[in-house]
Chains A and B, each alone.
Chain A
Amino acid sequence: DIQMTQSPSSLSASVGDRVTITCQASQDISNYLNWYQQKPGKAPKLLIYDASNLETGVPSRFSGSGSGTDFTFTISSLQPEDIATYYCQQYDDLPSLTFGGGTKVEIK
């Protein structure tokens, strides 16, 4: 099984800050990685697919990069509505699909 390790597990930043989350796969997954946002009490929402492609309707302040085992998710300018937990998810190890442990983003 491919393990997905996210860091940090939580962070606190100010409005307008650049926020970066990393996700490391236990083996090469090419670019087969997605990023989701989950607000409290809500279902996850797809933000980034295929490591760097922005889902339709998602603000451009969100971006993703990376390939192989190391991936980065960035919020270029943190907004109050971005308070959420963010998850990476691999789809290289089909049919098994696994998520990272999540990164909780809070406003300082």
Chain B
Amino acid sequence: QVQLQESGPGLVKPSQTLSLTCTVSGGSISSGSYYWSWIRQPAGKGLEWIGHIYTNGSTNYNPSLKSRVTLSVDTSKNQFSLKLSSVTAADTAVYYCARRTVITIFGVLIKDAFDMWGQGTMVTVSS
């Protein structure tokens, strides 16, 4: 059973860089058609997709965050990471890592969904 676990500082100062890592266990990060993703949720609010990375290193980011986000993957450690620069209080949220599974059969898209999630880690931006 694949499991995801976020790790990183719970407190970041304004203007600094938020850095989180997601460790994947129970399976190889390199296997299958998976996009390794980050999603965040401010307290009492909805879900916001941040971006995802494929195991070949290709990335896609939310246009609203693109200028500040960098995702990377370390297949040797079965980990992927998020860096969000120039943070403000508006970046305070629970950050989730998630596996986005994409399945196509004979060119037909069968499934494209976040089917595995980490438990989430709270990050507060404050001086």
A residues in contact (CB < 8 Å) with B: 1, 32, 34, 36, 42-46, 49-50, 53, 55, 87, 89, 91, 94-102
A43-B118, A43-B119 given; A99·B48 CB < 8 A: yes
In this complex, the member of A34, A49, A87, A100 whose beta carbon has the largest number of chain B beta carbons within 10 angstroms is A49
Which of these, B47, B63, B111, B120, contacts A49 with CB under 8 Å?
A: B111
Contact A46 B114 (CB under 8 A): yes
Count contacts between A and B, CB distance < 8 Å.
Answer: 60
Query: What's the tally of chain B residues with a CB closer than 8 Å to chain A?
Result: 22
A28–B71 CA distance with the chains assembled, in angstroms: 30
Chain A residue nearest to B117 (CB atoms) is A43
Instruction: State how many angstroms separate the Cβ of A26 from the closest Cβ of chain B.
Output: 16
Enumerate chain A residues within 8 angstroms of B34, measured Cβ to Cβ.
Answer: none
Enumerate chain A residues within 8 angstroms of B100, measured Cβ to Cβ.
Answer: 97
Chain A residue nearest to B110 (CB atoms) is A50
Contact A50 B111 (CB under 8 A): yes
Instruction: State how many angstroms separate the Cβ of A91 from the closest Cβ of chain B.
Output: 5
Enumerate chain B residues within 8 angstroms of A1, measured Cβ to Cβ.
Answer: 63
A43-B96, A43-B118, A43-B119 given; A98·B49 CB < 8 A: yes
Q: Is B60 interfacial (CB 8 A cutoff)? A: yes
